Amino acid sequence: MEDQFYAVPFSLVGFFFTNKSVEESIRGDLSPEELEKLQDILSRFLFTEGVQVTLYPSVVPPDQAEDAVGELEDMIFGEEE
């Protein structure tokens, strides 16, 4: 019998405080290797063994959060027709 895998959308909500603009605060040079390390860390510390995490790092204003989650769900599961 084949293993079944499930993709479950989740979000980590956080705040950062700075006197700089958002564009000046977020690194734009995150390498694929660094992103993979971050995914591994979250997977290891938040979930049980065998759960993989995929990150989509972005900054979304609170008034646009619902739309952003909808877009992410469409990306993961495909758009409903």
Residue appearing with tokens 């995490």: 53
Decide: helix, strand or coil at residue 2: coil
Can you give the residue ranges of every domain in the chain?
A: 52-81
- Which percentage of the chain shows pLDDT scores above 90? 12
Taking Cα atoms as reference points, which of 60, 55, 58, 46 lies closest to residue 9?
Answer: 55
Does residue 81 carry a pLDDT above 60?
no
**Arithmetic mean of pLDDT, 23-32:** 84
pLDDT of residue 44: 94
- Which percentage of the chain shows pLDDT scores above 70? 91
Task: Give the pLDDT band of residue 54 (cuts 50, 70, 90).
Answer: confident
Look at 81 and 33; give whichever has higher pLDDT. Answer: 33
